[in-house]
Structure 1
Amino acid sequence: MAKILNVKNLRKTYKSGEKDLTVLDSVSFDIEAGETFSIVGPSGSGKTTLLGLCAGLDSLDEGSIELCGVELSRLNEDELALLRNQKVGFIFQDFQLLSTLTALENVSVPLELQGNKRAQLEAMELLEKVGLGDRYDHYPSQLSGGEQQRVALARAFSTKPDILFADEPTGNLDEETGEKVIQLLFDLNKEMGTTLVIVTHDLDLAQLTQRILRLKGGKIISNETKIIA
């Protein structure tokens, strides 16, 4: 299988007053295309920083990241933005929907940016799939948290990304709503053959993925492949 993400000897340091704070140290792993993968660890272990680096949202200090066959450090900001627009999907804990746009507009905008002539129709189909066919014209403020995250799911999959990064996708949801969102996430992921990378503190959610990477203090402490029936 082709590697869709290849991380080698990754190091990231931030200034904390007079001191350097190393958030990630000597992190190396790879992910195969189509794999489901979770990154877990306690608060402050470097999970979200790692996801941001892998998605090209932040720059590394040492090491290399190859995403979709491209070495990220060789790209400028415009090239990174183009790569993300064409190949990458995102789901965030706080949904990050555009408050001035309806559910339908939130999902169709990424498609329109790609020049898709069927943007609105495809967005409607995706909202139907996540159970929001009667919410096209609702604004985020008119939707519950679970409904907002389902709109975010539809938006993330709208461009049929090669890889999707989900940062604590159930972090702001109650348990029952979170379970429904995760079911939809995995169903859409399977249908579209996307590579799924989830950052989570929820070990039950992590157990649903094929591989679990555990971080502690910015270092990998285990990288387990699981047998999923």
Structure 2
Amino acid sequence: MAKILNVRNLRKTYKSGSKELTVLDGISFEIEAGETFSIVGPSGSGKTTLLGLCAGLDHVDEGSIELCGVELSKLDEDELALLRNRKVGFIFQDFQLLPTLTALENVSVPLELQGKPDAQKVARDLLDKVGLGRRYDHYPSQLSGGEQQRVALARAFSTTPDILFADEPTGNLDEETGEKVIQLLFELNKEMGTTLVIVTHDLDLAQLTQKIIRLKGGKIISNQTKTLA
């Protein structure tokens, strides 16, 4: 299988006054197309920083990241934005829906920006799949947290991304609601053949993926691959 994400000797530091804080130090791993992958570790271990770098939202200090066959350091900001728009989906802990748009509009806008003529139909179909067929015209403020995250799921998959990054997707949800969202996430992911990368502190969630790396102090302390039934 083709490698969709290849990370080599990644290092990221931040300056705080006269001090330099190393957030990631010597990170290397690879993900093949269609795999499910988790990044776990305690708060402050560098999980979200690593996800942002892999998605081209921030720049590395040392090392290299190849995403969808492209070396990210060779792209300018416009090229990075184009790559994300065409190839990458995102799900965030805090949903990040546009408050002035309805559920249907939140899902259809990414498609309309890509010039897809059937944006409304695709958005409706996805909202139906996540159980929100009666919520098309509701605004985020009229939806529960679980419903908002389901809209975010539909939006993330609307452009049929090659790879989807999910940052603590159940972090703001209660256990029962979170389990339903995760079930939908994996169902849609399997149906569309997307590569899924999850950042989470939830070890039960991580165990649902084929590969798991554990971070501590900015380093990988374990790298697990398992065969899923």
TM-score per shorter chain, which class? over 0.9
Letter of the 2:38 counterpart: S
CA distance in 2, matches of 1:7, 1:65: 5
Q: CA deviation at 1:212?
A: 0.4
In the TM superposition, what whole-angstrom CA distance separates every residue of 1:104-157 from its partner, at most 9, and x where no partner exists? Answer: 000000000110000001000000000000000000000000000000000000
In the TM superposition, what whole-angstrom CA distance separates every residue of 1:24-52 from its partner, at most 9, and x where no partner exists? Answer: 00000000000000000000000000000
The alignment partner of 2:26 has SS state of: strand
Q: CA deviation at 1:228?
A: 1.3
CA distance in 1, matches of 2:16, 2:35: 36
Identity %, equivalent residues: 88
Look up the match of 1:65.
65
Q: CA deviation at 1:226?
A: 1.2
Q: What TM-score do the two structures reach when normalised by structure 1?
A: 1.00
CA distance in 2, matches of 1:53, 1:152: 21
The alignment partner of 2:83 has SS state of: helix
Q: CA deviation at 1:227?
A: 1.9
Residues 46-57 of structure 1 aligned to structure 2 (within 5 Å): 46-57=46-57
The alignment partner of 1:7 has SS state of: strand
CA distance in 2, matches of 1:17, 1:144: 41
Unaligned 5+ runs, structure 1:
none
CA distance in 1, matches of 2:82, 2:101: 23
Letter of the 2:165 counterpart: F
CA distance in 2, matches of 1:145, 1:10: 35
Q: CA deviation at 1:161?
A: 0.2
Q: CA RMSD in A?
A: 0.4
Look up the match of 1:138.
138
Q: How many residues align?
A: 229
Q: CA deviation at 1:17?
A: 1.9
Letter of the 2:111 counterpart: L
Residues 1:76 and 2:76 are matched in the alignment: yes
The alignment partner of 1:89 has SS state of: strand
CA distance in 2, matches of 1:220, 1:16: 24
Look up the match of 1:114.
114
Look up the match of 1:30.
30
The alignment partner of 1:173 has SS state of: coil
CA distance in 2, matches of 1:89, 1:226: 25
CA distance in 2, matches of 1:86, 1:46: 26
Could you list the structure 1 runs, at least 4 aligned residues long, displaced by more than 6 angstroms after superposition: none
Unaligned 5+ runs, structure 2:
none
CA distance in 2, matches of 1:41, 1:160: 29
Look up the match of 2:39.
39
CA distance in 2, matches of 1:223, 1:118: 42
Look up the match of 1:21.
21
Residues 1:88 and 2:76 are matched in the alignment: no
CA distance in 1, matches of 2:228, 2:161: 24
Q: What TM-score do the two structures reach when normalised by structure 2?
A: 1.00
Letter of the 2:65 counterpart: I
Q: CA deviation at 1:162?
A: 0.1
In the TM superposition, what whole-angstrom CA distance separates every residue of 1:51-89 from its partner, at most 9, and x where no partner exists? Answer: 000000001100000000000000000000000000000
Look up the match of 1:8.
8
Letter of the 2:9 counterpart: N
Look up the match of 1:104.
104
Letter of the 2:150 counterpart: R
Residues 1:164 and 2:152 are matched in the alignment: no
In the TM superposition, what whole-angstrom CA distance separates every residue of 1:148-186 from its partner, at most 9, and x where no partner exists? Answer: 000000000000000000000000000000000000000
